[in-house]
Amino acid sequence: MIDVQKILAGIDALGDELMQRADEMEEARLLPADLAMKLARTGAFRLITPESLDGPELTPTEFVECLERIALSNAAAAWCAMIASTAALNAAFLPKDMAVEIYGDPEIITGGVFAPMGKAVIEGDDYRVSGRWSWGSGSANCTWIAGGCTIWQDGEMLRLPSGAPDTRMMMFPADDVVLHDTWHVMGLKGTGSGDFEVKDCLVPKQRSVSLVSDEPRETGALYKFPVFGLLSLGIAGVALGNGRAAIEAFQELSKTKKGLGDRSQIQSSLAEMEADLRAARAYLFSEAARVWEVAKTSGAEIPVKDRADLRLACTDAVRKCADICRKAYDLGGGSALFSSHDLQLRFRDSHAITQHIMIGPGTYEMVGKVLLDKPVNTSMI
């Protein structure tokens, strides 16, 4: 097992290179393969992989801290680490032999998209899968890529007892996947989050999982923790690191740009940004630690209210960090307009982060329903 301090030390050792190669990543619109491998060797792509597979199996707050540290240097690289780590969560649900085959190599990089954009037709012990998925972050460096699918049999889509479609994540070897160059965007350019596609790919049933209806094979507390809460925490970790970097970039500009740091408005605004970031981070860590204690001590499913509280804290952190980056960009004036300045990159990346559905505006409605005891679909909380 890799200790969190060893992972953080490895991340810190790559910090300068991650910053210096940001322009290269923006130009290429992906994480370069050599840099991806260096990050993989720190353990950054398997932060919540089970100990039984020699993974770190970090606690939720340690997971956030690692992503935060990467994002301090490069938010796009941190996003790739977040996607790879949460994709590796599938290892806790797969049969042990299949989990070893896919996730046993400590330098393996996996990725994928949960959204059921594919169609899987039952053929005996296999699924025949076709589909095209958007938002395939980091796919160019992956050995295995997963895609969510609806399940079909005899021409009909299968449904769960709740009436919701039966969906599963199918795992494809990279050689079976076609990557499409569709990633032409404003922020998080270096994540390579283009489309990927498979056609008539045969997937053994044991190489698929449902994060909604399957029970994890692993028994550790991390795998009792809300799956979508972990994903939301990962997004928030990237946002927190990016927000901290924006404040540091603004501090540096205020010290070097003549007269900027002497203005009372600048001084007050900097203090407000600092307070907002610390408050959002403290709220997030408090909720993550509280729900973690529930996961460690409860033998039952995490209560809906606790899961909703966690999602609210994650959404709040991401939105607050985007506000901080916007304010830092505004106050930076003309200097922040240039693509060579870090404030511009942090502004763009922060607003790309807010577009993820897990921390989107719909989260507030969902949590509001829970607070008001209104009917709500709990499967994605």
CATH number, domain of 338, equals 1.20.140.10
Q: How many domains, the chain?
A: 3
Residue 380 counted as domain residue? no
**One domain, residues 67 and 168:** no
> Closest Cα to residue 79, out of 222, 241, 314, 243?
241
pLDDT of residue 1: 61
**One domain, residues 188 and 280:** no
Give the Å distances, CA to CA, from 324 to 89, 156, 270: 31, 48, 9
**One domain, residues 344 and 244:** yes
Q: Which residue among 156, 176, 209 closes a domain? A: 209
Q: Is the pTM of this model over 0.75?
A: yes
pLDDT of residue 221: 96
The CATH code of the domain that includes 183 is: 2.40.110.10
The CATH code of the domain that includes 50 is: 1.10.540.10
Residue 381 counted as domain residue? no
Which residues of 98-166 form beta strands (DSSP E)? 110-123, 126-133, 144-153, 156-157
Q: If you write DSSP's letter for every residue of 25-58 in order, what string do you get?
A: HHHHTS--HHHHHHHHHHTTT-TT--GGGT----
Kindly give the parts of the chain with pLDDT less than 50.
none
pLDDT of residue 223: 95
Residue with tokens 């991806």, as numbered in its chain: 36
Distance separating alpha carbons of residues 30 and 35, to the nearest angstrom = 10
Distance separating alpha carbons of residues 351 and 321, to the nearest angstrom = 9
pLDDT of residue 378: 87
Residue 99 counted as domain residue? no
**One domain, residues 242 and 266:** yes
**One domain, residues 84 and 120:** no
**One domain, residues 253 and 366:** yes
Q: Which residue among 92, 126, 154 closes a domain? A: 92
Q: Which domain holds residue 12?
A: 4-92
Distance separating alpha carbons of residues 209 and 89, to the nearest angstrom = 10
Residue 214 counted as domain residue? no
Specify the pairing of strand 110-123 against strand 144-153: parallel
Residue 350 counted as domain residue? yes
**One domain, residues 79 and 158:** no
Are the beta carbons of 29 and 184 closer than 8 angstroms?
yes
Residue 70 counted as domain residue? yes
**One domain, residues 229 and 284:** yes
Distance separating alpha carbons of residues 141 and 235, to the nearest angstrom = 20
**One domain, residues 43 and 166:** no
Residue 298 counted as domain residue? yes
**One domain, residues 13 and 87:** yes
pLDDT of residue 238: 98
pLDDT of residue 195: 98
**One domain, residues 239 and 343:** yes
Are the beta carbons of 223 and 230 closer than 8 angstroms?
no
Residue 105 counted as domain residue? no
**One domain, residues 279 and 338:** yes
Q: Which residue among 159, 180, 209 closes a domain? A: 209
pLDDT of residue 108: 94
